[in-house]
Amino acid sequence: MTRQYVFWKNDIGGAHRANDDKHAPAHLLKRIGEGSAIDDQGNVVWNGFDQFWIQRAFQSLVTIRSEREEPLNNEDASHICQLAITDAIKANNGAGPINPNTFRKLANTHAAAFYRRKDKNYFLIASLSIASFPAHSIRAGDCTVTHIRSGRQRFPLPITTRGTLGAAIDAHIAHSKYLHVKVGTFGRSKHEAANRAFTALGLLCGTWMLIAKRGSWTIRSHPRHAPLGAILPGPLFTLHEEGVTNSDDSEFWYEPDYNEDQKLFEPGSAWTAIERQRRSVFNKLRRHPFKQVAESLIMRYAAAMAVSNLDVAFLHMWSLLEAVTDTVGAKYDETIRRALWPLPDRTVNRDLLQYLRCHRNQLVHAAKSNQGHEQAAYVMKSYVDPHLFAVINNSNRCNSLADYGELLSLPTEAEALKKRARVAIRGLKVQSEIKNGE
């Protein structure tokens, strides 16, 4: 049986597993096919300026998953989609719509070829807003992160980065005190290796911040645009293949919305406790029943903590609260009810969550912020933190995020819980009797 790598995305962005085209963007495929032709040299050409964004939209509705169920990075996935589209158009002789099932079969062939490639070893050079590195090396995900004591001297930036990326990044390059780190990674392509390294950094920084900034608040009379987080990546990253020393052959990524360096995180002797807790979290993640989901939540947390626009950070945190309570696509009343479940004082917290809900609706529907956006972001964070820790620790022995969400959906009153337990026990007894033919 042929392994399936290519799926249509369902309504919440997951993979539609059924072998059908229920979620296929058939109209976009039709438009792509009808807007193409084959020239005299046998190359596919596009008619119309809208083809670029139509194909981008189409590609965003496709997900490619490895045998470990890990989604393929956007760059390699887009390339595979483009190869399949080109093959389908040539098979049609450049005329007519593309059949969704034909596309999926062709894309699956290219995906299988990609996953048969051998890994190459790379390393990513990045910088972090920390004054010291708390260990000789740290294993994060599939990567190893180490401190580079010589900074970027051995890994100069490509010539194309000099004076071309904006004043804020130029200032960072010239004056930053951020600490440089090397992330040992690997992949079938440069993009896969880089994505693995970015994942490791997000997991490490997210875990550190979850531990170090738990319950933190900042109150300013004149709020400034600064991220919620304290351990942040710098704006420049370069990827190098092991054994290749020419810096101009390296790939680089940069953050186009970068504003300025932030204050260095200097916990002093507290690093020891932070690292001890970080190792505990990583050990729990290694044997976690839904490891990939738990790690993705931590990485989303890191991304939210690194955003300097606090309205965007707030929306990231609200989205994270929906995810961690398993209420994506559900009514916000249910999100609030589940967020409240582990809290002792539900009356005050219900009103605070209703305030956050109104703040979210104001941002999304009225495109309007207010002067309290910094405190709204911190209040939002205060509800996300305990749920993230609950998922990581998994003291409730849940086997999936859906299990955790189901736990949060239970009543909070003891008598109501006891009643449900009695009904469940009676139901189990009845089903056992039916199975045994009694």
pLDDT digit string, tens, across residues 223-249: 556 899 999 999 999 999 987 765 555
Share of the chain above pLDDT 70, in %: 95
**Domain limit, last residue, from 243, 267, 291:** 267
Rounded Cα distance between 233 and 299, Å, is 13
pLDDT in tens, 306-360: 998 999 999 999 999 999 999 998 899 999 999 999 998 889 999 999 999 999 9
Residues 138 and 71 grouped into a single domain? no
Residue 15: inside a domain: yes
- Looking at residue 249, what is its pLDDT? 59
- Sorting pLDDT into bands at 50, 70 and 90, what band is 217? low
Same domain, 148 and 258: yes
Task: Assess if residue 212 is contained within a domain.
Answer: yes
Same domain, 216 and 123: yes
Q: How confident is the model at residue 160 (pLDDT cuts 50, 70, 90)?
A: confident
Residue 430 has a pLDDT of 81
The answer to whether residues 90 and 194 belong to one domain is no
> 310: number of CA atoms within 13 Å, CB side?
22
Least-confidence region, from 132-141, 170-179, 208-217, 288-297:
208-217
In a domain, 219, yes or no: yes
Residue 155 has pLDDT above 90, yes or no: no
Please, which pLDDT band fits residue 220 given cuts at 50, 70 and 90? low
Domain range for 59 is: 6-115
Q: Does residue 374 fall inside a structural domain?
A: yes
Task: Judge if 134 and 97 occupy the same domain.
Answer: no
Inter-residue contact 239 to 204 (CB < 8 Å):
no
pLDDT at 218 over 70: no
Enter the pTM of the model.
Answer: 0.90
User: In terms of domains, do 134 and 256 share one?
Assistant: yes
- Report yes or no on 426 lying in a domain: yes
In this prediction, residue 427 has a pLDDT band, given cuts at 50, 70 and 90, of confident
CB-CB contact of 234 with 129 (8 Å): yes
Measured CA to CA, the distance from residue 252 to residue 164 in angstroms comes to 13
26 and 108 assigned to the same domain: yes
Last residue of a domain, one of 267, 291, 322: 267
Res 219 pLDDT > 60: no
pLDDT band for 387, please (50, 70, 90 cuts). Answer: very high
Same-domain status, 123 and 209: yes
Q: Report if residue 208 sits inside a domain.
A: yes
Return d(Cα 218, Cα 408) in angstroms, integer: 29
Same domain for 166 and 100, yes or no, is no
pLDDT at 337: 96
- Domain check: are 213 and 123 in the same one? yes
Asked whether residue 47 carries a pLDDT value surpassing 90, the answer given is no
Please report which confidence band the pLDDT of residue 373 belongs to, taking 50, 70 and 90 as the band edges: confident
Question: Across 47-142, where does the E strand assignment appear?
Answer: 62-64, 120-128, 137-140
- How many domains are contained in the chain? 3
Residue 28 to residue 51: CA distance in whole angstroms: 10
Phi-psi region of 329 (alpha: psi -120 to 50; beta: other; left: phi over 0): left
Question: Which amino acid, 239?
Answer: L
Whether 152 has a pLDDT exceeding 90, the answer reads no
Determine contact, residues 309/225, Cβ cutoff 8 Å. yes
